[in-house]
């Protein structure tokens, strides 16, 4: 009887353990289903984040393009003047050429002058097209910073030369891996701001050098300076102290983003009579 009782007790214990195992198995299945459900939700969330990131990149690209076009709009009158001058010069020379047909030497000189004027127009138009077109994503190549700066200076020449003397101090800098169109946008924004900051006549200094193993670009002006409360906010999107016709409030924000994407830094120091922006870019 005692043996039967022990057997019954063991059978009951095994049945209880079996029931517990079945319950644990069901819980495990439920947990697995829950984990799979969470994995599905996580996958959907990651896809949403990827779409949002792509939308953000697209929006940033559109903002950069809008800022480019807005800047070209601000410079439009000066650009038209820069193109019109050599065009009128070439047209006037062609009129003179008609009366100089009998004098080969004079005709050759007039034709050379016409060719120079038309080449100047071609260069200006080429610089504007290079600056204005949308930048190809991820396109980087070794570029000469001096060449990029000269192209930008030609675009802003009329606007800037009315306000300031341009002083170039281009040191020897190896080619920098960069997107030339994007850096052109940075330099153009800084040069336009420098010209706008000068109340009368002044000086804008553009310098390049190698500093601590990095390429350095400095753009400074002898304007009125940036008040401390404004200086703290100049890189904020849409922050501006200018009239709507003079800027979107995006220029410096986009410039800072471009420099950061290139692995560089942008800093500003200012006091009455001197504001200097310093950009440092990796050479490799």
pLDDT tens digits, one per residue of 215-237? 999 999 999 898 888 888 888 87
251: pLDDT strictly greater than 70: yes
Q: How far apart are CA 18 and CA 271, in angstroms?
A: 83
CB 213 within 8 A of CB 173: no
What is the reported pLDDT for 46?
73
Instruction: Give the range among 43-47, 158-162, 208-212 with minimum mean pLDDT.
Output: 43-47
pLDDT at 165 over 60: yes
Comparison of pLDDT for 257 and 69, the residue scoring more = 257
Q: Give the torsion through C-alpha atoms of 220, 225, 227, 232, to 10 deg.
A: -10
More confident residue, 20 or 265: 265
Q: Which residues contact 199 (CB under 8 A, 6 or more apart)?
A: 223, 224
Higher pLDDT: 182 or 50? It is 182
Q: Out of 127-136, 213-222, 238-247, 272-281, pick the least confident.
A: 238-247
Q: Tell if the pTM clears 0.85, that is, is over it.
A: no
- pLDDT at position 77, please? 63
Q: Tell whether the model's pLDDT for residue 274 goes beyond 60.
A: yes
Q: Output the CA torsion sign for 125, 128, 134, 136.
A: positive
What does the alpha-carbon distance between residue 18 and residue 12 come to, in Å, rounded to a whole number? 10
Residue that wins the pLDDT comparison between 266 and 235: 266
The pLDDT, as a whole number, for residue 194 is: 92
Which among 203, 211, 209 is positioned nearest to 275, based on CA atoms?
203
User: By percentage, how much of the chain surpasses pLDDT 90?
Assistant: 27
Beta strands at 202-211 and 214-221: parallel, antiparallel or unpaired: antiparallel
Q: What confidence score (pLDDT) does residue 246 get?
A: 55
pLDDT over threshold 60, residue 1: no
Please tell me which residue, 237 or 254, carries the higher pLDDT value: 254
64-96 pLDDT per residue, tens = 666 766 666 666 666 776 777 788 878 787 777
Specify the pLDDT at position 219.
96
What pLDDT band is residue 131 in, cutting at 50, 70 and 90?
low
Lowest mean pLDDT among 88-92, 239-243, 277-281: 239-243
Query: Is pLDDT at 137 greater than 60 in this prediction?
Result: no
pLDDT at residue 60, as a whole number: 63
CB 244 within 8 A of CB 252: no
4-18: pLDDT as tens digits: 777 777 777 777 777
Distance between CA atoms of residues 194 and 76, nearest Å: 18
Distance (Å, rounded) from C-alpha 185 to C-alpha 65?
10
More confidently predicted of 221 and 115:
221
- DSSP notation for 173-216: ---EEE-HHHHHHHHHHHHHHHHHH-SSSEEEEEEEEEETTEEE
How many whole angstroms separate alpha carbon 62 and alpha carbon 263? Answer: 22
């Amino acid at each position: 009887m005692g043996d039967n009782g022990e057997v019954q007790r063991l059978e009951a214990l095994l049945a209880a353990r079996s029931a517990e195992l079945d319950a644990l198995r069901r819980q495990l299945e439920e947990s697995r289903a829950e984990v799979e459900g969470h994995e599905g939700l996580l996958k959907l969330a990651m896809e949403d984040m990827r779409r949002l990131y792509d939308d953000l990149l697209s929006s940033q690209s559109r903002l950069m393009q809008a800022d480019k076009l807005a800047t070209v709009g601000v410079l439009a009158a000066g650009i038209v003047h820069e193109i019109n001058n050599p065009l009128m010069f070439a047209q006037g020379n062609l009129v003179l050429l008609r009366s100089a047909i009998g004098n080969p030497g004079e005709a050759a000189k007039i034709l050379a002058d016409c060719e120079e004027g038309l080449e100047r127009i071609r260069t200006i138009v080429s610089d504007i097209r290079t600056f204005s077109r949308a930048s190809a994503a991820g396109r980087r190549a070794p570029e000469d910073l001096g060449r990029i700066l000269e192209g930008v200076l030609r675009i802003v020449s009329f606007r800037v030369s009315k306000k300031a003397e341009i002083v170039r101090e281009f040191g020897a800098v190896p080619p920098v891996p960069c997107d030339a169109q994007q850096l052109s946008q940075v330099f153009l924004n800084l040069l336009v701001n420098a010209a706008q900051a000068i109340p009368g006549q002044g000086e804008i200094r553009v310098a390049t050098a190698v500093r601590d193993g990095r390429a350095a670009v400095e753009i400074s002006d002898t304007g009125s300076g940036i008040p401390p409360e404004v200086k703290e906010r100049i890189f904020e999107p849409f922050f501006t102290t200018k009239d709507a016709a003079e800027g979107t409030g995006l220029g410096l924000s986009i410039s800072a983003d471009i420099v950061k994407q290139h692995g560089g830094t942008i800093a500003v120091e200012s006091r009455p009579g001197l504001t200097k922006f310093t950009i440092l870019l990796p050479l490799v």
